[in-house]
Amino acid sequence: MGTSVLSLRMDGELLERLRDHAAKRGMSVQDYVIRTLIRDDFDERFQTAVDETEKFYGVT
């Protein structure tokens, strides 16, 4: 798997909040954002799997 670049434009207040969150975890802003995106992607895929399983078994 290769890597790509994603550029974001954000205001200073948001960047400072991200820096604070990342610093509390001993991470860079880049690592913090990537970890957050990966976690959200997993949550979404997991919920989709749960929904599909419930549909298959007829659970409401």
pLDDT in tens, 35-55: 998 888 888 888 889 889 888
Greatest Cα pair distance, the chain, in angstroms, is 49
Residue 4 resides in a domain = no
Hey, how many other C-beta atoms are within 10 angstroms of the C-beta on 36? 13
Total structural domains in the chain? Answer: 1
Q: What is the mean pLDDT of the chain?
A: 90
Taking the complete model, does pTM exceed 0.85, yes or no?
Answer: no
And the tokens for 24?
Answer: 């509390």
Per-residue confidence at 59, pLDDT binned at 50, 70, 90? confident
Residue 2 resides in a domain = no
Say how many CA atoms lie within 13 Å of 47 toward its Cβ. Answer: 6
16, pLDDT greater than 80: yes
Which residue's entry shows tokens 């976690």? Answer: 39
- Domain that residue 48 falls in: 12-57
pLDDT of 35: 92
Name the 3-class secondary structure at 26: coil
